[in-house]
Amino acid sequence: MKHAAACLLVLTWFGCLSAAASTPNLLLIYVDDLGYGDLGHYGHPVIKTPNIDQLAASGVTLTQYYAPSPLCSPSRAALLTGRHPYRTGIQSWIPHGSGIHLKDEELTLAEMLADNGYQTALIGKWHLNSDLGDPGQPQPNDQGFEYFYGHNAFQIPTNRNPTNIYRNREALPTQIGYTAQLYADESIAWLEKQADKPFFLMLSMAEPHTSIENPVEYNNMYKAYSKGPIIPIISGNSEPPKDKLIPRGPGEYYANVTYMDAQIGRVLSWLKHHPDVEQNTIVVFASDNGPVTSDWINWWEVNAYGSTGGFRGRKHYLYEGGIRVPAIIRYPDKIAANSRVSAPVIGTDLFSTLLSWLEIAVPSDRPIDGQDITSVLAPTAGNQAVHPRDFLWALPSESPLEFAVRSADWKLMLDAQHEPRALFDLATDPLELFNLIREHPQQVDKLRHQFLKGLAAIRADPLLNQ
């Protein structure tokens, strides 16, 4: 009887391990201000990103992936909730001390997974409240992340030796190192502890958001693209360092992207050296919004040289350059390696798709804007087609164009008073060079009607009006 009981115990233990192993893990790598054209895989002629390129070779590359917003806070709110950022009340980036935060009532991807037995961690940028030290605002630990190590809006004074890092709810002393390396170290250490449960790790990199510094060897890789001595432009002081605002060329920015790639590569290498874990881990890589290009509009942007891949605009703007960003997904045995998908998808779709893959029901008590795009990413005869839908963006922008709606290949841009200002046919004019608003008045009216209907539904959202 003792032998039988021992056998039953062993079988139960192995059964638990088998069940845990069969439940997919999730590694979500979200990077800050990376442009569509900033990766080697997406065609940058200079920047070397071998690790992200290799990730793409083992998964699917999305060529029309859209960020939910051209700014970080609303984009992150939408990614984690599957809901348009205006539904969550986060319309723009969150200034320090403003009191703006993601509401407790919102259900995040982390909460959904934690409730279903996942170990969850956010390592890196949060920026879904205005103060990591304010107990009156929900913190990452309150919104599904059991472990948190990172910063809020941007790294201070630069991404070297940051002074504004928190662990869970505790402000830490100066952290020695570069944020990319610190976050990779922390990610690997956390992964080492995950053995008996599936995990969800959101690795939210600070790079290539300014202000930046790089190890000397990385700056040297691109010294041909820099001029003059490298003098960091620091953030966090009461006054801008006007004497440091000297254009020095793109070399430091290029180095920052390559350094970020190397540190992401360390985390991916950890998976590679644990093949059973790697085989059972979904990896998603995406940027939160378009890049800061050399068209600087704020002092802290000097010496950022992000590439939109030729698309018009940049971060802060609703042109394609502000919202069309790189995205790669690897799901072994589910998604074909080295494949490409050109269908338009948006960041809110990741919420519904990942929950579907993890066999967790999408919340039914609130509007969810994202769709399950499995049929787009891994088409099979049995997959249901994605329902045709419009994409709607909204942002108090740096330009008069505060709204945009895309339906099929048509994109209409509107001002703050909801008046149409520009119409583009993205099928023939992806660079948005030819405004067709006069040539297609019926199309303008149709898209404006769809926009107004969509915006009204967002503004009537029950959670938004609580």
Per the residue annotation, which of 44, 101, 127, 316 is the catalytic one? Answer: 127
Q: Are 71 and 64 in contact (CB under 8 A)?
A: no
**Average pLDDT of 255-282?**
97
Per the residue annotation, which of 72, 151, 209, 316 is the catalytic one? Answer: 72
Please report the pLDDT score of residue 381 as a whole number.
Answer: 55
Domains of the chain: 23-377 (3.40.720.10), 400-459 (3.30.1120.10)
Rounded percentage of the chain residues whose pLDDT exceeds 90: 90
Please report the pLDDT score of residue 21 as a whole number.
Answer: 55
Instruction: Count CA within 13 A, CB hemisphere, residue 315.
Output: 31
**Residue 399 pLDDT grade (very low, low, confident, very high; cuts 50, 70, 90):** confident
Rounded percentage of the chain residues whose pLDDT exceeds 70: 94
**Residue 177 pLDDT grade (very low, low, confident, very high; cuts 50, 70, 90):** very high
Give the C-alpha separation, 35 to 366, whole Å: 32
Please report the pLDDT score of residue 8 as a whole number.
Answer: 39
Helix (H) or strand (E) holding 147: strand 147-150
The model carries a pTM of 0.94
Please report the pLDDT score of residue 16 as a whole number.
Answer: 40
pLDDT in tens, 132-164: 999 999 999 999 999 999 999 999 999 999 999
**Residue 79 pLDDT grade (very low, low, confident, very high; cuts 50, 70, 90):** very high
**Residue 387 pLDDT grade (very low, low, confident, very high; cuts 50, 70, 90):** confident
Whether the pLDDT of residue 19 is over 50: the answer is: no
**Residue 332 pLDDT grade (very low, low, confident, very high; cuts 50, 70, 90):** very high
The one-letter amino acid at 353: T
Whether the pLDDT of residue 339 is over 90: the answer is: yes
By three-state DSSP, how is residue 254 classified? helix
Rounded to 10 degrees, the C-alpha dihedral 189/350/80/270 comes to: 0
**Average pLDDT of 438-464?**
97
Q: Are 392 and 403 in contact (CB under 8 A)?
A: yes
Task: Look up 127 and say whether it is catalytic.
Answer: yes
Task: Look up 16 and say whether it is catalytic.
Answer: no
- Alpha-helical (H) ranges within 139-249 are 179-192, 216-221
By three-state DSSP, how is residue 286 classified? strand
Whether the pLDDT of residue 413 is over 80: the answer is: yes
